Amino acid sequence: MSFCYDIKNEIGAIRPNSCCKLPLTYGFLLFSRNFTADKISMQTENETSAKLYQKLLKECYNAEVQIIKGGSKRPTYRAFVPDFSDRLKILASVDFGIASGKINRECFERECCVACFIRGAFLACGQISDPEKGYRADFSVRDESLAYELKSLLEERMVMSNVTRRTSGFVVYIKQREMIINLLTLMGASARSLELIETTMIKDVKNNTNRATNCDGANIRKAVSASVRQRRAIEYLQKKGIFETLPEELIKAGELRIKYPIDPLSKLCKYADFDISVSGLNHRFERIEQIYNDFKSREKKK
């Protein structure tokens, strides 16, 4: 399975909050292959995505969705709404706003709804390259206005992107690895985000002759493992609403790691707007990890 396939499986398995189910479905529909009165359909190589599309439309609109599997060497799945009245019902729910190529932001009750909408858009038309081969994330969009609407929505959440034209439409693309990490985190793909950070750090160390000379393999693995642990602990505490309650010095350390997920402690100290040594910063991360481990232990006992 590919890196992108795994991402779609991971985010497709996330259960949305009650307020997020419609925005997730809306993103899925709006960025799928067809979204008109004549045809509402999506096409994907990911079976999980096709089945989620079917499930969401059934739960949100009580609409029947058929799935047809094609291809032999490389299977594809086409999911579509065959009934005309079902299609009209779905389109009416977003006021037929698709005609102007606009995203109906009234569908978003909270910030979490925006993240779910972007997740749906990615499941419908997104791709991310294997980090071993390069850094690029794409959203293939049929309409120029819609492409720029998505670009704006992403950049409001600190995911910088660009738009280019292709024969079949437009592509919103991201080439900076930090932005791709931000995108994965935004969509809830924490496992793949950590995997990308780990891969990136290993590649950076291998490509840097000086660091490769001064570090043996054990030290490289140790640095990578520490960064991944720190990021995992911080993201967990943020998700549980605990991070904001920590002492200020721990919050500042955590914010540095989130902003610079792949940099070593020595660089983080230089980026910091407060004076701290490498050992001092490492001690703060150890305290964050201890708090994380304590809360995880309590959860297991419940």
Q: What is the pLDDT of residues 61-80, one digit of tens each?
A: 999 999 999 877 788 999 99
Position 108 pLDDT exceeds 60? yes
Class of domain 3-132: alpha beta
Instruction: Name every residue whose Cβ is closer than 8 Å to that of residue 152 and which is 6 or more positions away in sequence.
Output: none
Sheet holding 76-80, edge to edge: 34-35, 40-44, 76-80, 66-70
Task: Determine the Cα–Cα distance for residues 123 and 10; give it in Å rounded to an integer.
Answer: 11
pLDDT for residue 220:
63
pLDDT for residue 206:
61
Average pLDDT over residues 229-246: 87
pLDDT for residue 209:
47
pLDDT one-digit tens code per residue, 79-106 = 999 999 999 888 888 765 555 667 888 8
Task: Determine the Cα–Cα distance for residues 167 and 165; give it in Å rounded to an integer.
Answer: 7
Instruction: Work out the mean pLDDT of the chain and round it to a whole number.
Output: 84
Single out the residue of 133, 34, 189 nearest to residue 42, CA to CA.
34
pLDDT one-digit tens code per residue, 187-214 = 887 777 677 766 666 666 666 545 545 5
Position 21 pLDDT exceeds 60? yes
- Quick check: helix, strand or coil at residue 20? coil
If you search the block for the tokens 């080439």, which residue do you land on? 175
- pTM of the predicted protein model: 0.67
C-beta separation of 76 from 45 below 8 A? yes
Distance (Å) of CA 248 to CA 169, 235, 266, 284:
47, 17, 21, 11
Compute φ and ψ for 111, nearest 5 degrees.
Answer: -60, -35
Position 291 pLDDT exceeds 50? yes
pLDDT one-digit tens code per residue, 40-60 = 999 998 888 999 999 999 999
Task: Determine the Cα–Cα distance for residues 108 and 25; give it in Å rounded to an integer.
Answer: 12
Write out the residue limits of the CATH 3.10.28.10 domain(s) in the chain.
3-132
Which is it for strands 34-35 and 40-44: parallel, antiparallel or unpaired? antiparallel
